[in-house]
Chains A and B, each alone.
Chain A
Amino acid sequence: MKIQRHSILVVGSGLAGMRAAVAARENGADVAVISICQPVRSHSVAAQGGINAPLCNNPESKDDSVERHAFDTVKGSDYLADQPAVVKMIGLAKETVYELEHWGCPFSRFEDGSIGQRPFGGAGYPRTCFAADRTGHSVLHVAWERSVKLGVPVYEDRLVIRLAVKDKKVQGLIVYNFRTGDLEMWECAAVIFATGGAGQIYGATSNALSCNAFGMAIAYWAGIALKDMEFIQFHPTTLYGNNVLISEAARGEGGYLRNNKGERFMKKYAPEKMELAPRDIVSRSIYQEVLEGRGYGTKENGYIHLDLTHLPEEQILERLPQIRELALIFTGQDMIKDPIPVQPGFHYMMGGIHVDENCSSKEVEGFFACGECSCVSVHGANRLGGNSLLECAVMGKVAGSQAAEFVKGVTPSSEAKTILFLELQKQEAKLDQWFNDEGKDDPFSIMEEMRATMMTKVFVYREEGPLTEALNKIRELKKRFKNGAYLKSKVRQYNRELEWVLAIEGMLDVAEVMCLGALKRTECRGCHWRLDHLGRDDENFLKHTLANYVDGEAKLSYLDVVITKWEPKERKY
């Protein structure tokens, strides 16, 4: 059987992956991208509001600086972010945004022709660079265009299903080719995972359908820890009904949140920042209003209003055209004239694959990760809006150049082919089981039960009782899955059911880590709010949760947060 080879394989074609591939190529490495979708289809494309950098273009941001941006990020993270990593990321922010602009990114502009910047949540200065409300789309297209210019190959319609590791060293990947229905062997000296988020574990999410945590699960199964997985960002304003994202830019441009009495309720929760408090605080406030009967809909599935009707029509049409269109399509309401219904929904995974500030794993040599699937950690317990595109671009670049540096010193492994072949046989056997066995449990109903559990018990507010129930439920579902979930369709080519079924196995393991981490962290920090343990506990929990996969279960350990500049203080907005 043929083995395909590249020194570096990037898994995922979103912004982090494409930026990593570009950086690796620019550093002279033989790099290729493997992706389940075609270029520019990845979820980065759906990012709307912008990308943060202290450019000082806005008349009100003349005093902004790397230091201030970094401090806002650390405070936003509720002091869980590693400060040297934050300083590194923000230090590279300006040059990275300018680079994207030089490559052709169509940013919106100020009158003087400089890149437009708008206010965003939790930020001391308006520093969010934007391209209307299509920033992710614009930035991802540019990263792909750059990769075309440099001739980086992208192998699409391929799902990576296993990482082959021997003696704690990366050997290559086992890949399902959707078109042929066959498994393939890909040999490499280094791999960069940029596989995105985990929203499909909850279902009610702004995430794309491919954000199914499978990349995280693959790394986890291969012996790499998952870090801080209890920290899940619920975006305050996802559209009621299908949880499509309504950008924070709507509030950055001056939009109000109103309860069913028409009150701007944020004055109770964050009197200074109001609607532009960080996302964890705004989401909790909305949830509280709904619980206390001041929302619309039911308490279980309530919503409040996002009101932009006081803004000039031209401003909405120029700055927020996409979300106006989306709200119009899905709710029939025009935000120029009517408030639109929004509710918190799963948006972003602060946690992820445990890597250091060079995006490199200390557990498996030759393994790198960047973007949402990774946890460097720069977002800690709560990410600021506009910092995720920044992380993808900056850390993608870091991962790509670090991997290129790494492969220079690697002599090809003589065993790689044998190891890949053995792993391929194992995975073939597993696939054959799916195609031949008749199980009794429908994996999609297992997934629905998992989603319902996570939505009701591991949501904005958390407590020991429900968290324990959730953990037990997920472990029961894992058992049921293992003992006889079935695949309805036995067709090998382009089998999307197979993709879901493989992902569900991963989602269950990742969900277990989320539940366990949340149960053991008996404090409130950022988005993790324990009703039975109010207040932040720096003495015991100024540390990252690490989860390793041991004998089919998650085993936790902890790692101290790196604090160099800013001592933890009470977080108020």
Chain B
Amino acid sequence: MSDTKETQKITFKIKRFNPTVDYEPYWDSFKVDCDKGTTVLIAVQEIIAKYDGSVSMRYNCRAGVCGSCAMLVNNKYRLACETLVLELEKKEIKLEPLPFFPVIKDLVVDMDPFYEKLLAIDPFLIRDHSKDPETEIIQSPEDFKIIEEATECILCGACHSSCVSVWTDKNYLGPGALLKAFRFTKDTRDENTKERVKRVTAEDGVFRCHTAFNCVEACPKKLNPTEAIQALKRESAKQALKFWAR
């Protein structure tokens, strides 16, 4: 990393909307000096501090783990905190809130439609805790590997926002919730596999996925919800076979 602080003036076009006072969204532009370390988040911070404090976005960790700042940066799903401005190689950068979700203000969206789906799949380990050992429940490194990637999800909602099936069917659980369902279904400590598979194969579940892979493209953590959904489909087939073999 060099110490040079060469800066470039970059124009940020931000989609603004305050439903309490505005009838329609509109665009605002701000010019910000950016160096090679400037992220989209740092630029918006600068706008809030220096130019217009009413620009709203969610943020927190600055390190790509809290999932607060997913948005569209030049039409692509990105986390503002890990997107380096100059690496985009554009003089003008367009920031928009996550599509599909209702806008609360500017870049802040109401994520309840995503959280509702998440809650619908029982996003917690289910087992009879009265039989728990006094120490940890043993899980082999291989079994941990199966769920590891799915546990990396930061719940930023980008996948849900990008999914064509979510857009066309409001009841569809969506890739984020299903990835979470996969994570628990495949956890060797969970005792609710059968019920879980039944839940995700209901009408609003895995079979609504048309493998458009939008979620894979949108995921800032490079996770693969589509693959997890296919695995759940296979699991359901396996259970159906077991049923017929009885």
What residues make up the interface of A, taking CB atoms closer than 8 Å to B? 37-38, 40-43, 45-46, 55, 97-98, 101-104, 106-115, 131-132, 134, 137-138, 141, 145-146, 148-149, 157, 179, 181, 208-210, 240-242, 244-245, 297-298, 322, 325-326, 329-333, 341, 444, 487-491, 493-498, 500
> In the complex, which of the residues B63, B67, B138, B154 contacts A326, with contact meaning CB atoms closer than 8 Å?
B63
Q: Is B217 an interface residue, CB under 8 A from the partner?
A: no
Give 9 closest A-B pairs by Cβ, nearest first: A497-B53, A104-B125, A489-B53, A113-B138, A489-B54, A145-B124, A494-B56, A491-B54, A494-B105
- What's the minimum C-beta distance from B89 to chain A, rounded to whole angstroms? 15
Measured between beta carbons, the chain A residues less than 8 angstroms from B238 are none
How far is the CB of B188 from the nearest CB of chain A, in Å? 9
Flag if A111 contacts B141 (CB, 8 Å).
yes
- Residue contacts A-B, CB under 8 angstroms, 11 given: A40-B155, A41-B66, A43-B61, A104-B189, A208-B62, A242-B37, A330-B82, A331-B1, A493-B105, A495-B56, A500-B53
Sorting the interface of chain B by its residue count into under 10, 10 to 19, 20 to 34 or 35 or more gives 35 or more
Instruction: Decide yes or no: A497 and B60 within 8 Å by CB, A45-B66, A104-B190 being known contacts.
Output: no
- B6 on interface, CB distance cutoff 8 Å: no
Chain B nearest Cβ from A391, distance in angstroms: 20
- With beta carbons under 8 angstroms apart, the residue of B37, B61, B123, B140 that contacts A109 is B140
Chain A residues in 8 Å Cβ range of B108: 494
Cβ of A297: which chain B residues have Cβ within 8 Å of it? 3
Residues of B within 8 A of A111 (CB): 140-141
Q: Within 8 Å of chain A (Cβ to Cβ): is B144?
A: yes
Q: Smallest CB-CB separation from A145: which chain B residue?
A: B124
- Main SS of the interface on chain A? loop
B52 in contact with A109 (CB, 8 Å):
no
B-side contacts of A145, CB under 8 Å: 123-125
Question: B18 an interface residue at 8 Å Cβ cutoff?
Answer: yes
| Chain B 168-183 interface mask (CB, 8 Å, partner A; 1/0) | 0000000000000000
B68 lies within 8 A of A37 (CB):
yes
How many angstroms from the CA of A137 to the CA of B64 in the assembled complex? 11
Question: Contact residues of B with A, CB < 8 Å?
Answer: 1, 3, 18, 20, 37, 39, 45, 48-50, 52-68, 82, 84, 104-106, 108, 111, 115, 119, 122-125, 127, 129, 132, 134-141, 143-144, 147-148, 151-152, 154-155, 184, 187, 189-190
Is A146 in contact with B124, judged by CB distance below 8 angstroms? yes
Contacts of B148 in A (CB 8 A): 106, 132
**Partner pick for A106 among B37, B59, B129, B144, CB 8 A cutoff:** B144
Contact present for A41 and B137 (CB under 8 Å):
no
Q: Which residues of A contact B104 (CB under 8 A)?
A: 157, 179, 493-494
Q: A113-B138, A493-B18, A495-B54 are known contacts. Are A46 and B48 too (CB-CB below 8 A)?
A: no
- Would A104 and B138 be within 8 Å (CB), given that A209-B62, A489-B54 are in contact? no
B58 neighbours in A (Cβ, 8 Å)? 37-38, 41
A444's partner among B39, B49, B154, B184 (CB-CB below 8 A) is B49
* B48 proximity list for chain A (CB < 8 A): 496-497, 500
B136:A42 contact, CB within 8 angstroms:
no
A488 touches B53 (CB 8 A): yes
Q: In the assembly, what is the distance between CA of A45 and CA of B152, in Å?
A: 11
Which of A102, A141, A497 interacts with B54 by CB under 8 Å? Answer: A497
Q: A341-B1, A493-B105 are in contact. Are A326 and B64 (CB under 8 A)?
A: yes
Interface SS of chain B: loop
Partner of B60, one of A141, A208, A341, A490: A208
Q: Of B57, B119, B132, B147, which one neighbours A496 at CB under 8 angstroms? A: B57
Taking a contact as CB atoms under 8 Å apart, the answer to whether A106 and B147 are in contact is yes
Within 8 Å by CB of B129, from A102, A245, A496, lies A102
Closest Cβ of chain A to B190, distance in Å, is 7
Bound-state CA distance A210–B61 (Å) is 8
Q: In the complex, which residue of chain A has the Cβ closest to the Cβ of B35?
A: A241
Are B124 and A98 neighbours in the complex by a CB distance under 8 Å?
no
Max chain A C-beta neighbours (<10 A), residue from B3, B66, B127: B66
Given contact pairs A102-B137, A109-B141, A495-B54, A148 touches B124 in the complex (Cβ within 8 A): yes
Query: CB distance B119 to A148 under 8 Å?
Result: yes
A488–B54 alpha-carbon span in the complex (Å): 8
- B170 vs chain A, min Cβ distance (A): 21
Contact of B68 among A41, A97, A491 (CB under 8 A): A41
Report the minimal beta-carbon distance from B199 to chain A, rounded to whole angstroms: 15
Q: How far is the CA of A451 from the CA of B165 in the complex (A)?
A: 48
> Is A37 in contact with B132, judged by CB distance below 8 angstroms?
no
> Beyond the given A113-B138, A489-B53, A497-B54, could you list 16 further A-B residue pairs with CB under 8 A, ordered by the A residue number?
A38-B68, A41-B67, A42-B66, A46-B61, A101-B137, A106-B144, A112-B138, A113-B140, A138-B151, A181-B20, A241-B1, A326-B63, A330-B82, A491-B18, A493-B104, A500-B53
- Choose one: A103, A108, A146; the contact of B144 (CB below 8 Å): A108
- Contact assessment for B129 and A148 in the assembled complex, using a CB-CB cutoff below 8 Å: no
Shortest C-beta distance, B119 to chain A (Å), equals: 6
When distances are taken between beta carbons in the complex, the residues of chain B under 8 Å from A42 are 60, 66
Asked if A134 contacts B105 (CB within 8 A), the reply is no
Q: Which residues of A contact B50 (CB under 8 A)?
A: 444
CB distance from A464 to the nearest CB of B (A): 33
Distance between B112 CB and nearest chain A CB, rounded to angstroms: 10
CB distance from B157 to the nearest CB of A (A): 10
Whether the Cβ atoms of A104 and B141 lie closer than 8 Å is: no
Contacts A46-B65, A493-B20; is A114 near B190 (CB within 8 Å)? no
Q: How far, in Å, is A138 (CB) from chain B's closest CB?
A: 6
* Listed residue (A146, A208, A444, A494) with the most chain B CB atoms within 10 angstroms of its CB: A494
Contacts of A138 in B (CB 8 A): 151
The answer to whether B63 and A245 touch across the interface, beta carbons within 8 angstroms, is yes
Q: What chain B residues lie within 8 Å of A98 (beta carbons)?
A: 134-136
A40 CA to B152 CA, complexed, in Å: 12
Complex alpha-carbon distance, A341 and B3, angstroms: 11
CB of B49 within 8 A of CB of A104, answer: no
Q: What chain A residues lie within 8 Å of B190 (beta carbons)? A: 104
A179 to B104, CA, bound (A): 7
Which residue in chain B gives the minimum CB-CB distance to A100?
A: B136
Residues in B with CB closer than 8 Å to A134 are 65, 151-152
Name the CB-closest residue of A to B187: A104
> Closest chain B residue to A242 by CB distance?
B37
Nearest CB of chain A from residue B197's CB, rounded to whole Å: 18
B138 adjacent to A242 (CB under 8 Å): no
Most buried by B among A98, A113, A241, A242: A113
Alpha-carbon gap, A110 to B140, bound state (A): 8
Q: How far is the CA of A209 from the CA of B59 in the complex (A)?
A: 7
Q: Give Cα A106–Cα B144 distance, bound, in whole angstroms.
A: 7
How far, in whole Å, are A212 and B37 apart by their CA atoms in the complex?
23
> With A and B bound together, what is the CA distance between A297 and B2 in angstroms?
9
CA distance A488 to B68 in the complex (A): 25
A114: chain B residues within 8 A (beta carbon): 135-136, 138
Using CB atoms, name the residue of chain A closest to B134: A98
A146 to B132, CA, bound (A): 16
CB nearest neighbor in B for A341: B1
CB <8 Å contact, B1 and A333: yes
